[in-house]
Structure 1
């Protein structure tokens, strides 16, 4: 059986570096399942791998879309599996990496046969978002499905729209809807998680945001003002700076909100990964050596 090595962990923990080193070791390619890095206009705020990093090994699903494109998790699952099958015609090992938990799950387990988006529900939710803000959607999901609310990217309206739409259509929680049959894949999966103390994770996130600012995050967000209502841009690092440009927040306050919301997302990632039983954990300080040593025993 071919082997797909899936690298997981919180935002800012070092997944990109580890994925590249493993891919180089096995002379293979990387499939990204980071849903924010799909969009070519959002390179700084999503910590997209640098040109130098992208040049080290072939990457797929990075910068392949525009913020103006609609792209669903179902489309990603189909295209990612197709790309992995192509990759396995030339390689025995592939690498999957990214912190978008549901996108990794879609590749490893498949998606349940969920109904398509309901246009009336979507319009209703869009109107709620405009009139009452994202807080209203968060409150509704927390009441209807507290389990999923605890792990979803609560600042991403697209995730909230999808969950609420499915709940309304099926009368069951989103958690119940996605807990069904796991699809059998034609490859084995080895999941490697990078772990660190929570205070280290939070400090790395703060440093990463500072690095983004130094690299031109404010200018990147300014260039995207005409597209600020696109769903892809309603996400951490962009939503906060849009409020700065609209005069609602100061720049310093917006930056602190980015750090706070990034830490909140990391906390949700930790909650999600703690429930998973098949992750081999390695220390963030020695992740490459520990991972390669582990993989020698598994491949």
Structure 2
């Protein structure tokens, strides 16, 4: 049987992954699945830099704006949904494109998730209460004490990830990191990993420009419409939490925008740290020659 190929496009935010994914989808006459966890939510369009209407029309996309911020959705549910979608797509295509900067969500599809023991749900409830009363920093310090390895490697600014690591560490008595990178599930397709990158100064400049574009496109109005939902997990993310402080009159608009840029730059740095652990990624400069990328892909499919 002819093998099936998933082309996974990764890299830091604002590097040009969406544009490349569309070009490759058109070249291979196939469809795109998104592994960007922020772009799942239909209420968050501008601040997540989701594909434009024109881009969505240029190739068929899956997992863009398919959920509401009020829905409970996590990486485990995404893995199941994505694998079901791929099974369907591979019936009519030998190649499918996946694009996204959420490393855990990319790995969930390409490698499968790690298996964790079940723990008492009351632990999570206690941690959520601690988050609300004492703030994220108290949870971060607790994780640093219990599992320094996870503290240094996970998205430490994401309360959901911190709480997940803590509940496993507390509930099992073993570090969360001790359950990672065990033998993963076999996939019925081969993965070709393509990465886009650039010099740090260029990445940071592109991020700053993108934030300015978001503001001009109406990010303020988008965030203002979501203020009443601000405590939902989906909205505890860069581009939204900073502007909530502006609407609370805690920060000036200029300072909030500067914080969005700073926090997005930090996010990009974490993305690169995550992806560079994968030695199978074939890296290209962001000013890529599409023919060279196609050539590299076709070399791996021979």
Structure 2 distance, partners of 1:138, 1:111, is 23
Q: Give the root-mean-square deviation of aligned CA atoms.
A: 1.4
| Corresponding residue of 1:234 | 236
Q: Which moved more, 1:25-34 or 1:133-142?
A: 133-142
- Once the two structures are superposed, the pairs formed by residues 136-175 of structure 1 within 5 Å of their partners are 136-175=138-177
Question: Does structure 2 retain, via aligned residues, the 8 Å contact 1:240–1:257?
Answer: yes
* Correspondence for 2:67: 65
Moved over 6 A (4+): none
Match of 1:132 in 2: 134
Question: TM-score scaled by structure 1?
Answer: 0.96
C-alpha distance in structure 1 between counterparts of 2:132 and 2:217, whole Å: 31
Partner of 2:98: 96
Q: Is 1:151–1:269's contact at 8 Å kept on the other side of the alignment? A: no
1:12 partnered with 2:8: no
The Cα shift of 1:50 comes to 0.3
Matched-pair contact (CA < 8 Å) for 2:195–2:281: yes
Structure 1's 223 and 192: CA in aligned 2 closer, same or farther, altered over 3 A?
same
Structure 1: which 5+ residue stretches go unaligned? none
Name whichever of 161-170 and 15-24 sits farther off.
Answer: 161-170
For the 8 Å contact 1:29–1:95, the answer to whether it is kept is yes
Is 1:74 equivalent to 2:76 in the alignment?
Answer: yes
Distance 1:76 1:228 in 2: 23
The answer on whether the counterparts of 1:45 and 1:217 sit within 8 Å (CA) in structure 2 is yes
Q: Report deviation, 1:116.
A: 4.7
Paired residues of 1:18 and 1:287 also in contact (CA < 8 A) = no
CA distance in 1, matches of 2:82, 2:289: 26
The one-character-per-residue Cα deviations of 1:165-193 (angstroms, maximum 9, x if unpaired) are 12212222222212211111000000000
- Preserved CA contact (<8 Å) 2:119 2:171: no
Separation (CA, whole Å) in 2 of partners of 1:145 and 1:261: 24
- Look up the match of 2:116: 114
Cα separation, 2, equivalents of 1:159 and 1:264: 16
Q: 1:118–1:10: structure 2 CA closer, same or farther, 3 Å change rule? A: farther
For the structure 1 residues 166 and 219, does the alpha-carbon distance in structure 2 shift closer, same or farther, using more than 3 Å as the test? same
Distance, in Å, in 1 between the alignment partners of 2:129 and 2:221 is 29
1:282 maps to: 284
Q: Hey, what does 2:248 align to over in structure 1?
A: 246
Shift in Å, 1:117: 6.4
Shift of 1:100: 0.5
Partner residue in 1 for 2:218: 216
**Secondary structure of the equivalent of 2:6?**
strand
Q: Report SS of the residue matched to 1:95.
A: strand
SS class of match (1:181)? coil
Per-residue deviation, residues 221-240 of structure 1 (Å, max 9, x unmatched):
00001110000001111111
TM-score by length of 2: 0.95
Aligned length: 299
Match of 1:39 among 36, 41, 47: 41
Gaps of 5+ in 2: none
TM-superposed CA distance for 1:83, in Å, is 0.3
User: Contact (CA 8 Å) 2:119, 2:172: kept in 1 or not?
Assistant: no
Separation of aligned partners in 2, 1:68 and 1:156: 18
Matches within 5 A, 1:190-205: 190-205=192-207
In structure 1, C-alpha distance between the alignment counterparts of 2:291 and 2:138, rounded to whole Å: 46
